[in-house]
Structure 1
Amino acid sequence: MTGGEALVAGLAAHGVDTVFGIPGTHSLPIYPYLRKYRIRHVLTRHEQGAGYAADGYARVSGRPGVVLTTTGPAILNAVAAAAQAYSDSVPVLFVSPAMPVDHPGRGNGLLHEVKDQRAAMAAVTAGSHRVRSVGEIPVAVAQAFADLRTGRPRPRHLDLPLDLLDRSEDVRAVRPIHVAVTPPDGKSIGAAAGILAAARRPGVIVGGGVRHAADELRRLVELLQAPVISSTNGKGILPYDHPLSLGAGLHRAAVRDFVEDCDVVLAIGTELAPADLFYGGLTFSGKLIRVDVDPAQLLTNASPDLSIVADASIALDALSATLQPKGSQRERADSWRRRVGDQARTEGSRWLSIVDGIASAIGRSGVVAADNAMVCYYGALSNLPGYRPGCFLFPTGLGTLGYGLPAAIGAKLAEPDTPVVAIEGDGGLMFSVAELATAAQLRLPLPVVVVDNGGYGEIRREMAERGDPVHAVDLDRPDFPALATALGCHGVSAGGDIGPLVATALAADRPTLIHVRDDAG
């Protein structure tokens, strides 16, 4: 095989059926083999968009997303997306050609030359691997997928010297490596079960590390009769209408009160990160038990009374096997559910009509890809019902802009029959507005709800709150529906309930931009 075919054969051997990217001069030796191995190539309009689309694809499908770019500026365009995937623990493989094996250490001006491309990617991913021969390529692919599927899922980068891609060697694809999951320590499980059994007011906090363990979580919390609050990335793991669900969003005062009231809190697969806790950390007046696949995470942001290093599904199963059912605590759960929910509705009241309209259109199976916009983190995060893991895609930790639209494209390609909606602010949309053309070319029935407050509303608010002069945040309002039409989409302006517009867009023959003017600032 050539190096180009060795790469594609390796991806196919690991179940890859879709890659996102843009071809370039140095990546051409890879492209003839995508069709041979039946891998769909999704042509985005910018490599950052390719990265966000692969991120959305991975979050919804549960499989690693793959980004394929050319050398230098192309892979550097994807750096923000790689950093976002790292921040939110999303398995995405970034693949790019690189300078030749024997390229001069100080450079010679070759096209797309970068001083140290691998180091740039290593800085924002869990690791960047530069191969040295064609024979190493299938091994490197297998190693990358083993890493992506082991422990805490984080992005990886493969750096392929461009002179290897047309070179042939006698190689074959390496089959996937089966990675056994280490069971949790039995003594730790027993100790945790003892603490939980004795608890009178237990509570549970879940994060994105529990996305694959929804059934195991439900069994345990029903045994414990413990109310559950989720982080942003944990939204929907316990369905919104489950009687023990307090919804999503760790930042509200009512959630802090709930945590302080608990005599035991079980935190599973969550960083308890400042990015989730807008107004300061949580106070644990009772015992704290933490479960995480990442040992270092167990001591970050809050020190537990007991820690368990384990995959969430195995740990939850082990705890459930040890515990006996508790008596119903329905009254306590109902009380906290009302209190947390009422506060969420009050704090997000400005955007409730938008959120409720989207909820009515997408039903229980829907997925919303959100950008860093006020309508998303103040409105949709806590008030949009979520009924499934991966129902709310949001760039939490890194806090990038431009994520929502391309992530929605990736999600829709991962699950074509699922209702998917993107929510954008007017500022964030302009970071990736060209991806409307990508969605149009793919003929995706994708509603893109743009809530337009005439600028960077959150920064405007923070400037005013500081007592600083408010400037450099206002944006002229383009004709967003006309822009969408020019890029091959439908474009409409909303004057009232957006639910019917979203429902119509979900059945359309192409994407639909729904412009909502928000004059509250």
Structure 2
Amino acid sequence: MKQLAESVQAAVVTTYTARSLFPNDHPQYAGGLGQAGSEASSALLAESDLILVLGGTWWPDEYTPTQARIVQVDRSPGHMGIGHELELGVVGDLAQIVPRLLELAAAKPLDRAAWKQRVAEAAGAWKAKLEQEAGADASPMPPQRAIRALSQVIAPDAIIAVDTGDHTLWFNRIFQARSQEILISGTWRTLGFALPAAIAAQLEHPERQCIAIAGDGGSVQTLMEFQTAVQLGLPIVMVVMNNGCYAMEKNRMTGSGLQTLGSELVNPDFAMLAQACGGTGRKACTGAELEKQLSEALAARKPCIIDASVAPAVVPHTKI
């Protein structure tokens, strides 16, 4: 993928679970797709006249263009044209088709220096903005700082199960992926997904770090499965982004002048609950504390819940 992008000097935009398939620090990487992605990706997509979709099916209407010609490559015929019209659909294995595309690009090289410069400028400005967002620390910590802490500590080959909530968007906006495998509930957006997913991942890959990242509202849906992790001796670490509310819903209500009834939460002490189940409980109120607690928890290789106190900040472009 990297070689193909460099060959045609294209901007690269990834879907949520594909973040680690392309170097996030590459000058042509423009971030994720949709509200959870980047302003740079939306701008560059809107300026493009041809978009090559490799194995992706998610096409959020408000963040993707309608004017560009789209060529889609996928091994499943049923995935062709989901959410958008196609200029051309190619059914096949990317492992065979991408090398062929490289051959075609090499046979007809184009001078795209101006576009390459535009991509680098947009992506560079975006990454500078993220550094500013994620650099500020406080207590409770900004969600951007919390995600940056995760990005700096989690191993490159870890498996990360991300629950559903406003932290899902913050994660895709801020997290700098390396080779991690990212699991989400992509179709049903299920609350409580992260913990059981992390348990399953740890059973399948006992040698790898398996981390569950969940909001307080999603955590309580399946929280007693932590007892299962303790019984099985699984060294998963669950980070609870605790902001005392269903922040996505509350912020939408507030922004629209609605009553926030039902959006606020009265939470248990997640660290003490972990201890009551026979695991380890930790707390963090700042990004620096979260980095320390997460590093120690991962090194201990025991089931652990980290209760991370996070501010209920509004995700950009939030609307009802």
More displaced 10-residue stretch of structure 1: 285-294 or 435-444: 285-294
CA distance in 1, matches of 2:119, 2:39: 17
Change (3 A) 1:293 1:343: farther
State the match for 1:394 in structure 2.
Answer: 184
SS at match of 1:507: helix
State the match for 1:433 in structure 2.
Answer: 223
Amino acid at match of 2:175: L
CA distance in 1, matches of 2:28, 2:198: 29
Larger Rg: 1
State the match for 1:95 in structure 2.
Answer: none
CA distance in 2, matches of 1:494, 1:298: 45
Shift of 1:364: 2.4
State the match for 2:81 in structure 1.
Answer: 299
Change (3 A) 1:383 1:360: same
Change (3 A) 1:326 1:243: farther
CA distance in 1, matches of 2:255, 2:133: 17
Amino acid at match of 1:260: A
Q: Deviations over 1:463-498 (max 9, x none)?
A: 223322210122212111111111111011113221
State the match for 1:239 in structure 2.
Answer: 23
State the match for 2:318 in structure 1.
Answer: none
Change (3 A) 1:243 1:370: same
CA distance in 1, matches of 2:171, 2:184: 10
Contact kept, 8 Å, 1:229 with 1:250, in 2: the verdict is no
Is residue 381 from structure 1 mapped to residue 163 from structure 2 by the alignment? no
Q: Which residue among 238, 253, 265 is the counterpart of 1:463?
A: 253
CA distance in 1, matches of 2:81, 2:133: 31
Q: Deviations over 1:168-214 (max 9, x none)?
A: xxxxxxxxxxxxxxxxxxxxxxxxxxxxxxxxxxxxxxxxxxxxxxx
Contact kept, 8 Å, 1:424 with 1:448, in 2: the verdict is yes
Amino acid at match of 2:144: L
CA distance in 2, matches of 1:501, 1:246: 31
Change (3 A) 1:404 1:345: farther
Within-5 A mapping of 1:404-415: 404-415=194-205
Shift of 1:452: 1.1
Contact kept, 8 Å, 2:235 with 2:301, in 1: the verdict is yes
State the match for 1:260 in structure 2.
Answer: 46
Is residue 446 from structure 1 mapped to residue 236 from structure 2 by the alignment? yes
State the match for 2:316 in structure 1.
Answer: none
Q: Which residue among 247, 250, 257 is the counterpart of 2:34?
A: 250
Q: Number of residues paired by the alignment?
A: 299
State the match for 1:517 in structure 2.
Answer: 309
State the match for 1:101 in structure 2.
Answer: none
SS at match of 2:208: coil
Contact kept, 8 Å, 1:446 with 1:505, in 2: the verdict is no
In structure 2, runs of 5+ residues without a counterpart are 137-141, 314-320
CA distance in 2, matches of 1:427, 1:273: 27
Contact kept, 8 Å, 1:402 with 1:428, in 2: the verdict is yes
Contact kept, 8 Å, 2:192 with 2:220, in 1: the verdict is yes
Within-5 A mapping of 1:492-503: 492-496=282-286, 497=288, 498-503=290-295
TM-score (structure 1 length as normaliser): 0.53
State the match for 1:341 in structure 2.
Answer: 127
Contact kept, 8 Å, 1:231 with 1:248, in 2: the verdict is yes
State the match for 2:13 in structure 1.
Answer: 229
Q: Deviations over 1:16-62 (max 9, x none)?
A: xxxxxxxxxxxxxxxxxxxxxxxxxxxxxxxxxxxxxxxxxxxxxxx
Shift of 1:371: 0.6
Contact kept, 8 Å, 1:421 with 1:447, in 2: the verdict is yes
Shift of 1:296: 3.6
Shift of 1:262: 1.8
SS at match of 1:290: strand
State the match for 1:507 in structure 2.
Answer: 299
Structure scoring higher RCO (CA < 8 A, sep ≥ 6) equals 2
In structure 1, runs of 5+ residues without a counterpart are 1-216
Q: Deviations over 1:88-116 (max 9, x none)?
A: xxxxxxxxxxxxxxxxxxxxxxxxxxxxx
Is residue 372 from structure 1 mapped to residue 156 from structure 2 by the alignment? no
Contact kept, 8 Å, 2:30 with 2:122, in 1: the verdict is yes
Amino acid at match of 1:410: A
The percentage of counterpart residues that share the same residue type is 25
State the match for 2:64 in structure 1.
Answer: 282
Contact kept, 8 Å, 1:261 with 1:285, in 2: the verdict is no
Q: Deviations over 1:362-418 (max 9, x none)?
A: 1422332111121221x2112111122x62212123111101111112222333232
Change (3 A) 1:419 1:509: closer
CA distance in 2, matches of 1:317, 1:259: 24
SS at match of 1:368: strand
Shift of 1:286: 3.6
Change (3 A) 1:467 1:345: farther
CA distance in 1, matches of 2:20, 2:171: 13
SS at match of 2:124: helix
Provide the aligned C-alpha RMSD in A.
2.3
Q: Deviations over 1:319-368 (max 9, x none)?
A: 12322155684533321212333455677773122112112211422332
State the match for 1:3 in structure 2.
Answer: none
CA distance in 2, matches of 1:411, 1:247: 26
